[in-house]
Each structure stands twice: as C-alpha cells, then as structure tokens.
Chains A and B, each alone.
Chain A
C-alpha cells in the first residue's frame, strides 16, 4: 500500500479507537441530533405544513449541527498533551495527516447520520419508498464536502480560545452549498421525482467535493506547520 495512504489509515484508526473508548463526542453529537429532531417536530403545526415539505430541511440542519459537535474533537484531543507535536515530528506527510483526521471525522459524522436518519423517519412519519439508497448516496456526497472544510477549520479553531464557537462561525457559510444541494435532492427523492430534476444539484455536490477536498489537502500544511 502507498505509504501516505497507510499513514492516513493509521491516524484514522487511532482516532476511532480513542473515540470509541471515551465516546464523549459521539454521544454528545447523537443526543444533540435526537433533540434537534424532537424540537423540529414539536415546533411545527402538523396541519399547516406537510411533513415532506419541512422534513428534508429538518434532517439536514440536524446533520449539519451534529456534525459540528462531532468534528470539534478532532484537534482538541491533539492539543491536550501536545500530541500534535508527535504527529508532526514523525515522518508523516501533512496531506496524509489531514486525510487521517478527515477519515476519522467522516466515520463519526456517518455514525451520527446513521442514527439520526431512522429517528427522522420515525418522528416525521416519512415514507421512504425506494428513496433510501439515493438518500444515503446524497448524504455521503454532501457530508464529504463539509467535513473536509470542517477538518481544516477545526485545526485552526483549536488554536483560539473558544474553539467551539470559532468552528461554526468559520464553517457555516461553507456548509450552505452542500446543505442546500442535499436538501433539494432529498426532497425530490422523497417525492419520487425523476433524476433529471436532481442532476444539477448532484453535479454541484460532486464539484464542491472535488474542489474542497483538493484545496483542503493542499492548504493543511499551511495550518499545521509553524
């Protein structure tokens, strides 16, 4: 296996193993997601607005905010005992380090989404029909994009005093294109619309992923090397 790929997997595996021990970030994010869904449900008037109109937005807002809770841990754990120094000292290329953190973040956010989605179906009485594979695919496409940006911003935010505030302030504008695209596609999938109506948005999501994955990988060394 290519050395940078192996190193990225080593870093990701370490993060996942450590998080599975402490579970703090995962549990916080999961509880957060569940609560947001509950609030959305109580906040709407079931007679005024059909569930399917509000549902995709509720789902994606939930995913977005829960993801930010989950992504915060990526670099705060490295700060605790200066462990980032050890990562930077080892012969690990910065791009591999970024991808390791990215893959771990993706694993956590995917876990939260995997729990939030069934809750969503339950609370909103959504008839998935045959839409599930499409929703999962769209979720993957949109999530990759904003998690990439969230990973690099997390590395920056951790150097400030209020990292938990700085990350959302920086990240939210960047979440808009993937979120809007995801909501649009999800709504159409649930309404069983033809693929042609979603292609524009899907292309947007894919293009966003390519551009920002590349940019964040290249820019990471500017963040992490003093």
Chain B
C-alpha cells in the first residue's frame, strides 16, 4: 500500500557491481516532497548507475529502493508508477510523431483519453505547434521538452533527470530551471544528475557529491557556492 506521508523515495545501502568493478559502494538517499537533489561528481563515479537504480531500470547488487513505501521490483509493475525518468537519450520513436509518442506513453500508463492528455502535455512545454512532427525534426532543446512532457504525463511524484543541461542553450536551460522549481513547489521530488554544478546549484535544495561510488560531500543549499566550490573541486580533482 503506497503511503502518502513519509519519504517519496528511500534508497538504503545501494551497492552495484559490474563484474569486478564496484561502481556503487553503499549509497543511501531519502527524498521528501519538494526536494531537488543535484548529484554531482567526477565521471565514472556512478551517477548514472545510481539514477538507473532509483528508476528501477537496474537491480542493485545489494540494498533496496522503496517508492512511497513500496519496494521497487521488476516483477511489481505498479511500484514504478510514481517515477518519471528523463535520460540523455530521447526515449522517443523516430517513426512516430511526438504526439503519437506521448499518446503511446499515456496508453502504457492506462491514462484516460491518451491523445488529449498528450496534447495538453505538449502544450505545457510549448510544443503544441510541433505535435505533428517527428523527433528528427526537433532541435535538442525541443526534444528535451518533449522527453520531459513524456516523463510528466502520468503525474509522477519523483522525477529523475540524467544530464538534462547537456547541449541546452541558455533559454532552454532557464525554462528547465523554472520547470524544476514548479515541480518542487508542487511537492514533487527531483533528482538531477549533472556534471554542471553551476547550472544545478540554483535549483537544488541539496547538492550531493558522488565520488568513488559513495557520497563524499553533501550540502544543503543554505551554504553558498563560493565556499562549496573549493571543497568540490578538491574532491573531483583528487
């Protein structure tokens, strides 16, 4: 039974190995409504692996992820429903229009009036005019908006974003920041994996540095960037 009070997502003792490579060595995470957690760190630290574990796309070698109190398991499809995932890939099909792509997603989630829902979602990210276009016709910024619209369709409580700022121009990045801010105000939780600390700093309620498969540093945004930066650089250039 999903519980509506308590953390939206709780990850306990996550380990993940790929063969001899131990990518994650004991990671905990707790997401409360309104949280925006920026996960930063050097390449190879395990950030994308962590995000995929939180999304249920990979199973941990050890540890557990609970979403709204329910353990996340491949065999329990409904446990995944509160999650939304935006990857650096578009997750869209080339041969369908973005409207059809979103309508397909709506049908997968069992939403009523899938085409209507898809249209509204595209309108919310200002893509209504391009609804009949194929993904190939869209710019990177527009593709990302379409991906975000797809992720939001089913009203997820937890959003997981992998390197969302990559390749975005300034207006698109600003639009993304506003969106994340709105989600936080709505009581959703967001995890943003990024290596662009500056971009994420403004948004985040918490910044956590993942290094060598573990949390190396965590900071509530009460601190200021100037004092955080030296410690951060010390870690990633260590």
Contacts and interface: CB of A to CB of B under 8 A. Distances in A.
Contacts of A3: 110
B174 interface: no
A91 B94 contact: no
Contacts of A22: 94-95
Interface stretch (A82-90, A106-114, A184-192, A198-206): A82-90
B104 interface: yes
A91 B81 contact: yes
A45 interface: no
B74 interface: yes
A22 B136 CA distance: 13
A175 B48 CA distance: 40
B33 interface: no
A51 to B, nearest CB: 40
Given A90-B108, A90-B109, A83 B77 contact: no
B133 to A, nearest CB: 13
A126 interface: no
Given A19-B95, A83-B93, A7 B75 contact: no
A89 B92 contact: no
A80 B92 CA distance: 9
A91 B92 contact: no
Nearest to B85: A89
A83 B110 contact: no
Interface string A92-105: 11100000000000
A90 B96 contact: no
B75 A89 contact: no
B87 interface: yes
Nearest to B55: A89
Given A21-B95, A89-B55, A82 B89 contact: yes
Interface stretch (B56-64, B121-129, B163-171, B189-197): B56-64
A86 B105 contact: yes
B100 interface: yes
B177 interface: no
B89 A14 contact: no
B214 interface: no
B83 interface: yes
B108 A88 contact: no
Interface string B68-82: 000000110110110
Contacts of A21: 95-96
B83 A89 contact: yes
Interface of A: 3, 6-7, 10-11, 14, 17-19, 21-22, 77, 80-83, 85-94, 221, 225-226
Given A11-B108, A81-B92, 4 more contacts: A18-B95, A89-B83, A92-B108, A221-B75
Interface of B: 55-59, 74-75, 77-78, 80-81, 83, 85, 87, 89-96, 100, 104-105, 107-110, 135, 150
